[in-house]
């Protein structure tokens, strides 16, 4: 596979469930990102990892817990979510340190919290 | 602070019409500017970019010019097709804590009728 992949593509969970979203990038990049896309709101940056270290956490509730075990993989662990957390969750990657600062996005995971 | 303001949507045009989607920005320093496109059910794809003043980005018949004097990066296409129906996002990049961040506009939904 090429580019940025995300699994699952769709997820329905109850408020008491625990689930994880997975992102994998095949581009050799060293930075990865989680975004939340809700209806009628701009994309919200949630977390940034650079060289496998979290460098940004934009006041995201603790029910979202990211993990970056290596430069190619990024997870978002979910627990005790609320219905308002239903959204499209997008992963992206980029290569830091180059003049080109383009982020490449995965297809997203459509999350529905019941 | 850093922000991006896009033309309000939705925009509906007939095939072969001329398209302009306005985008203005506020930024400290000299950001790179981007247009991303999101087709139904998919993630964001980079459409074009410009990294410095007066640069013109172009791709698939779309183009945008980085105008520092008017802080604008308007997207244009001379003759749109039905397949161009999508949501278009203007964005700028800023250097965060060890990684670059993208700041997005709210998106403009474009529908092209045959």
In this prediction, residues A18-27 reach a mean pLDDT of 96
Task: Please state which of the ranges A38-47, A66-75, B78-87 shows the lowest mean pLDDT.
Answer: A38-47
pLDDT value at residue B8: 80
pLDDT at position B31 over 80: yes
Distances from the Cα of A88 to the Cαs of A3, B6, B19, in angstroms? 19, 21, 28
Higher pLDDT, residue B96 or A74: A74
Is B32 within 8 Å of chain A by CB? yes
Q: Who wins on pLDDT, A95 or B84?
A: B84
Q: Could you tell me the pLDDT band of residue A56, with boundaries at 50, 70 and 90?
A: confident
A41·B104 Cβ contact <8 A: no
* pLDDT band at B30; cut points 50, 70, 90: confident
Average pLDDT, integer, range A58-80: 93
CB neighbours of B60 closer than 8 A, spacing ≥ 6?
B47
- Give the pLDDT of residue A90: 96
Q: Are B1 and B29 in contact (CB under 8 A)?
A: no
Contacts of B43 in chain A (CB under 8 A): 4, 6, 90, 105-108
Among B5, B43, B89, the residue to mutate for chain A (most A Cβ within 10 A): B43
Q: Say which residues have a Cβ less than 8 Å from residue A80's Cβ, sequence separation at least 6.
A: A15, A16, A63
CB atoms within 10 A of CB A39: 7
Question: How many residue pairs from chains A and B have C-beta atoms closer than 8 A?
Answer: 63
Residue A27 CA, distance from chain mean position? 16
In whole angstroms, what is the distance from residue B65 CA to residue B46 CA? 16
CA nearest neighbour of B91 among B1, B6, B21:
B6
Range in A14-18, A34-38, B52-56, B70-74 with the lowest mean pLDDT: A14-18
Across chain B, mean pLDDT equals 92
């Amino acid at each position: 596979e090429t580019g940025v992949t995300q699994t699952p593509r769709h997820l329905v969970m109850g408020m008491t469930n625990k689930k994880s979203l997975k992102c994998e990038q095949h581009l050799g990049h060293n930075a990865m990102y989680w975004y939340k896309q809700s209806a009628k709101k701009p994309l919200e940056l949630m977390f940034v990892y650079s060289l496998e270290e979290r460098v940004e956490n934009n006041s995201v509730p603790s029910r979202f817990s990211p993990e970056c075990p290596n430069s190619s993989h990024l997870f978002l662990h979910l627990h005790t979510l609320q219905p308002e957390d239903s959204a499209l969750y997008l992963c992206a990657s980029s290569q830091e340190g180059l003049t080109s600062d383009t982020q490449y996005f995965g297809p997203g995971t459509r999350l529905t919290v019941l | 602070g850093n922000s991006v303001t896009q033309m309000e949507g939705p925009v509906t045009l007939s095939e072969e019409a001329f398209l302009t989607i306005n985008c203005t920005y506020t930024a400290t320093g000299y950001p790179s500017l981007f247009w991303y496109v999101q087709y139904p059910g998919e993630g964001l794809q980079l459409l074009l970019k410009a990294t410095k003043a007066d640069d013109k980005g172009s791709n698939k018949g779309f183009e945008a010019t980085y105008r520092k004097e008017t802080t604008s990066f308007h997207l244009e296409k001379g003759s749109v097709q039905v397949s161009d129906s999508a949501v278009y996002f203007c964005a700028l990049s800023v250097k965060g804590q060890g990684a670059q961040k993208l700041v997005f506009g709210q998106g403009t939904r474009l529908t092209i009728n045959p």
